[in-house]
């Protein structure tokens, strides 16, 4: 996988992507990352790449010419026209399925916007995908590009070692990952669940699946609609839902008790 990032801040993306697992994957040649400085394609001796918006309004708009020249130069180097992902809060929200699809490409271009955005004509000419990393606004597209590159690269064969690669990580089967524990066996009065110390692999597998289901119901019930569950697991989920209902009815009877959890992140 070869990433080509069109940006006004090449140092920022290169610094952010040269550490840890992604840095190791680049060193091994499993992925390559290049930042293309859009300013290098400015036609102006002061290297300007932005101008005032036609029609007025606040901020500056990135001009189409330097962006399109940078992309065309890349295409002549590669001998093909790779997909161009424009990172924007107006895009489709990135997720694990999109990451999986993109991980099959040989080359990917990320166009990182700044200021008030990019001249629409540049987008019409070169952008193939509009992707957001969530419903909030950042100062530029570099962090979203880095987030997506990190996520996509994990899926490129060989990037994760066997130990790192998670068959059972979050979003596998549309479930969240089960809780993990390491030494010590007891920490501040909290014990590691006994089943994990039992050495009974079948029971451990079952406990982990059940915890995944419980956690998904508590934190991301929206995922359960598409979760892949067998008959016994569906029964377990139904039982959890019944318990949840009973609990909330009991709380209402007790005068609307609200737990700590309910105060957090009300966004
Ligand atoms: N640029 C600014 N905010 C963004 C977001 N949430 N996702 C993708 N690109 C962005």
Nearest CA to ligand 1 atom 4: 89
Q: 89 in ligand 1 pocket by Cβ < 6 Å?
A: yes
* Average pLDDT for the chain: 94
Residue 74's Cα: distance from chain center in Å? 26
pTM over 0.85: yes
pLDDT of residue 163: 76
Q: Give 220's contacts (C-beta < 8 A, 6+ positions apart).
A: 176
User: What is the arithmetic mean of pLDDT over 150-175?
Assistant: 88
Q: How far is CA 79 from the centre of its chain?
A: 29
Local confidence band at 162 (pLDDT 50, 70, 90 cut-offs): confident
166 lines ligand 1 (CB under 6 A): no
Cβ of 87 closer than 6 Å to ligand 1, yes or no, is yes
Expressed in angstroms and rounded, the spacing between residue 118 Cα and the centre of ligand 1 is 13
Task: Compute CA 131 distance to the chain's CA centroid, rounded to the nearest angstrom.
Answer: 11
């Amino acid at each position: 996988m070869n990433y080509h990032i069109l940006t006004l801040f090449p140092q920022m993306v290169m610094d952010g992507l040269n550490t840890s697992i992604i840095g190791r994957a680049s060193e091994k040649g499993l992925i390559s990352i290049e930042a293309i400085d859009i300013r290098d394609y400015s036609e102006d001796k002061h290297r300007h790449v932005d101008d005032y918006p036609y029609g007025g309004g606040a901020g500056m708009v990135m001009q189409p010419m330097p962006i399109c020249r940078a992309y065309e130069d890349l295409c002549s180097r590669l001998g093909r026209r790779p997909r161009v992902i424009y990172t924007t809060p107006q895009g489709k929200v990135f997720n694990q399925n999109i990451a999986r699809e993109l991980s099959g490409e040989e080359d990917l271009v990320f166009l990182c916007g700044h200021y008030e955005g990019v001249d629409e004509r540049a987008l019409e000419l070169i952008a193939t995908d509009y992707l957001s990393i969530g419903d909030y606004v950042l100062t530029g597209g570099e962090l979203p590009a880095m987030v997506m590159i990190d996520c996509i690269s994990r899926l490129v064969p060989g990037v994760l070692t066997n130990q790192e690669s998670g068959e059972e990580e979050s979003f596998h089967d549309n479930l969240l990952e089960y809780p993990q524990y390491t030494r010590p066996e007891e920490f501040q009065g909290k014990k590691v669940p006994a089943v994990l110390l039992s050495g009974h692999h079948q029971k451990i597998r079952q406990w982990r699946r059940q915890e995944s289901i419980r956690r998904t119901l508590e934190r991301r019930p929206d995922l359960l609609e598409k979760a892949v569950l067998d008959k016994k697991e569906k029964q377990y989920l139904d039982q959890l839902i019944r318990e949840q209902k009973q609990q909330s009815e009991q709380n209402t009877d007790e005068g609307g008790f609200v737990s700590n959890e309910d105060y957090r992140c009300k966004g």
